[in-house]
Chain A
Amino acid sequence: MTTRDDNPETLLPLPPATFHILLAVAAGDRHGYAIIQDVAARTNGEVKLSAGTLYRSIQRMLEQGLLVESRERPAPDLDDERRRYYRVTPFGMEVARAEARRLAGLVKLARARGFVPGRA
């Protein structure tokens, strides 16, 4: 059940939670709690992923081939065995970029209408 070979466009638009998770893991492998913290920090606490939303998204992203479970684990003294680490796949990066382009395009349109301050 994978769409890895598919065109990234078919997954767009991404659910916001998915996009945030992709942004979080793009910087490096993360476990679940770290993703929640990362997202909260980068949005100044505006987006707080709940555990249910997080893992449901992760499950689907694994199926869609956006993420893989990482086999590399941190040094044993820093590790918690229950934790799983997730890494973004190249396809995941592609999809994230495509989503970013889609959003940028939307912002451009909005700007042309004067909805957003800045250059048209």
Chain B
Amino acid sequence: MRLYRALLRLYPASFRHEYGGEMRALFARRRREASGAGARLALWLETLADVVPNAAAVHAEILRHDLHYTLRSLARARGFAVTAIVVSALGIGATTAAFSMAMHVLLPRLPFPDAGRLVAFWQDQGFRGYSHLELSPANYRDWRRMAASVASMGVYTGTSANVVGVGEPQRVPCALVSASLLPTLGVRPELGRLFEEADDTYGAEKTIMLSDRWWRAAFQADEGVLGKTVSVDGEPYVVIGVMPPGFEFPTRVTEFWIPYQFSPDDYADRTNVYLYGVARLKPGVTLAQARADLGAVAARLAREYPKANEKTGATVEWLRDQVPSQTRLLLVALVGASVCVLLIACLNLANLLMARALGRRRELAVRAALGAGRERLARQMLTESLLLAACGGVLGVLLAVVVDPLLARLVPQGLPIAATPGLDLRMLIVAAAATIATGVGFGVVPALRVNRGDDVTALADGARAGTGRPTERLRAALVVGEVAASIALLIAAGLLLRALVRVQDVDPGFDARGVLTLRTWLPMPKYEATAQRAAFYRRVLEDVDRLPGVSSAAYISFLPLDFGGGIWPVTGSDLAEPASDSRAASVRYLTPRFFKTLGIPILAGRDVGDGDTAGAEKVAVVSESFARLYWPGQNPLGRRFSIAFFERTVVGVAGDVRVRGLERPSEPQVYLPYEQIPDGWMSFYVPKDLVVKTTAGAGALLPTIREIVARADPAQPISSVRMLSQVVASQTAPRAIQVRVLGAFALLAFLLAGIGIHGLLAFTVNERTREISVRMALGAQRGDILALVLWRGARLAVLGVAAGGVLAFVAGRSLQALLAGVSPGDPPTFAVAVALALVMTLAGSLLPALRAIRLDPVIAMRVE
């Protein structure tokens, strides 16, 4: 019998209350009639089959009822319904978008089988400040041979290469890989075969794997491509396979993979490091065990090769954790902001629902008096809040889908995952969780709180519903919470905006306006001879210079900001003695008129000239900071120093340029004439970036320049066509996006908080109509009433601002790495936020206050 009683609990309480007794009596009678174990079992089975579907049907009926009732009552309160749905949609949408993006990046599902066993590894030379140093071929070979914790190991280097014969000549992003890399990742080819060790042997036939995307775009998805040859940097490669769609490694733009084929020379130098490592751990091996194992291997090699491998250890991390720390911080900030917005939305909803419940208190009391149990009333309210939240949830998911591509721009390209998370299960789970939290947490609690009140007083004529102190205090606390959260967000966004402006204001040292840039990466060994390259540059520059609208053009090794490296030690007997670790400078080779093209001033001496040929004296133009560092207070012209293998004479001083980036200090710069590179040396430093100062539109110029390059060398691809201003802007692009996203969130929060203040005050004024009328009847002036209402709003705002300010300061400190030196307590930002909060309070309080002073005491009293 107890079991049956328990079974009946499946029914709603109201139904059980009504019919439970009779059903139990019926069951007892049938049980008495059932004799024998078989009959009893049959009775139980029958009972189960009776109770479960019928209970579900009763629930469904109530749900239908409640939905019907809710829809009818919401149709009467359209303003409320729309506000509630929009508010929950904003909160749920923001949260869903931010969370799904953060999960997508921070907890990526790497598209590799059993990816939980994949680690990335580096050499650790912490004593020199490098904890993530790439490997040399020899060290990689030895690590691979000696590591016991690893099932397989591979290395790669992302690069790009000239491809000729596949459409236009083009520069294509690709990766050099060891034959073991793709098997280590566990991927299979879509077509053909993977690399084998034989492909990765010095002197073997060169082979190439294509990405699915490139195979479709450049080879029209032709399966007959296998066995054909592709010209990469002037050498033939045989196509052996095509990777499956979605395989993007190491970056999202990689189009093909070729084996290293290390030569004996490559193995000779253990300090030449450029290999990135990936390993698959043996089953059951922990990260700590792998660290210990590879650490021991590195230590053994450090003993064997004390010079090259001095104090070298191993750094091992999960492959899935390879997210830049700035990105990580940014996403965490984003999630924090979205939670803030959801919280504010929920507080707002709670307030709305509570106001509504208070307003409907009499209706609820009537229904209770007519026999509706408290459980049915609460259930009715739950249905209402869940329905509203569900509508908001659906809208919110749509919102998230729309917003995610924007957020996707926060994800760096160098991660082997898709750009946007897409509408996946995780996103829907987040949305559903946010919806339920919104609907249940903030719908039912206020409803129950109101419902707890004494029903009889609610029925009493003219009872003042909702002005009970505790309820009002709770509602006021909710509004203070909203204001605090929105102020915190606003200040955080403000700080980031200040940081953005500060970075944008940094003078890069050159004038990017009207400068078109593009890259012609001359392939080796074809262009090993310096004279041959010089002929190419001269031909291109002469023709470009003649174009209408072009005032000057030049070639240089790397654009400033675009490439921060190229750092060489500076030596010489003629130098002042600066601290040793600062005796380095960035080196660039260039043609004449680079400084003119970029508007970099020549402060003394001259530009590199056509006379600075291979056979002439080796000369250099140095930056102002270089001259100041090595010859303080003296004339640098004619001084000598050594860099990049040769001693050079200073012939000119140019203005400083931020080569490393707007947010980082840059080394002093040394500029060398393009003809003074010995044949076959320093091929990485060969000038490849063309800069053209033009008053004509880049679009008009580009086709002509393409023709000019094609005339100079028909097999030469052009890549990286950009305006120099874009290069500068790309420095601050992540910041700009970040400010926009956070700013949008802050604005949203701010709006919601304003709605919250307005809602609370409007409700209070409404509920206090009689009190206000009495006051006015007793002689209170309009000004007094106005002050009364405004003061209530101001009190909420002040409390909220104070709490929010503290919150913002704490948040600002954790964001400090993103602030570019702006203090987390930045006074102007705080001042603006506080001022905005005051304006919002005023705006939110104004309408209710006006309503209050327009009350006609006589009419107001008569309504009672």
Contacts and interface: CB of A to CB of B under 8 A. Distances in A.
Interface string B36-52: 00000000001000110
Contact of B57 (A51, A56, A58, A83): A56
Contact of B61 (A53, A60, A82, A83): A60
Given A52-B51, A52-B54, A59 B27 contact: no
Contacts of A1: 65
A50 B50 contact: yes
Interface in A60-102: 60, 80, 82-84
A70 to B, nearest CB: 14
12 contacts: A33-B22, A33-B25, A50-B46, A50-B50, A50-B54, A53-B54, A55-B18, A55-B23, A56-B58, A59-B18, A59-B58, A82-B25
B86 to A, nearest CB: 31
A82 B19 contact: no
Contacts, number: 48
Interface size bracket, A side: 10 to 19
Contact of B29 (A31, A33, A52, A53): A33
Interface string B4-45: 000000000001001101110111010000000000000000
A32 interface: yes
A53 B25 contact: no
A44 B65 CA distance: 36
Interface in A1-21: 1
- Mostly, the B contact residues are helix
A58 B19 CA distance: 10
B668 to A, nearest CB: 86
> Which of B15, B26, B55 has the most C-beta atoms of chain A within 10 angstroms of its own C-beta?
B26
Given A32-B19, A56-B54, A83-B22, 12 more contacts: A1-B65, A32-B22, A33-B22, A33-B26, A36-B26, A50-B50, A52-B51, A52-B53, A52-B55, A59-B19, A82-B22, A82-B25
Task: Kindly list the 9 A-B residue pairs having the minimum CB-CB distance in the complex, ordered from nearest.
Answer: A52-B54, A50-B50, A55-B19, A52-B50, A82-B21, A51-B23, A51-B26, A56-B54, A32-B22
A30 B81 CA distance: 46
Contacts of A36: 26
Contacts of B18: 55, 59
Contacts of B25: 33, 80, 82-83
A60 B15 CA distance: 11
Contacts of B15: 55, 59
B8 to A, nearest CB: 10
Given A33-B29, A52-B55, A56-B58, A84 B50 contact: no
Contacts of A60: 61
Nearest to A62: B18
Nearest to B24: A82
A53 B19 contact: no
Interface in B528-550: none
A99 B22 CA distance: 29
Contacts of A50: 46, 50, 54
A36 B33 CA distance: 15
A98 B695 CA distance: 90
A66 B632 CA distance: 106
Contacts of B26: 32-33, 36, 51
A55 to B, nearest CB: 4
Contacts of B46: 50
A51 B23 CA distance: 6
Nearest to B25: A82
Contacts of B19: 32, 55, 58-59
> Which of B15, B19, B51, B55 has the most C-beta atoms of chain A within 10 angstroms of its own C-beta?
B19
Contacts of B21: 82
B58 A51 contact: no
B375 to A, nearest CB: 16
Nearest to A80: B25
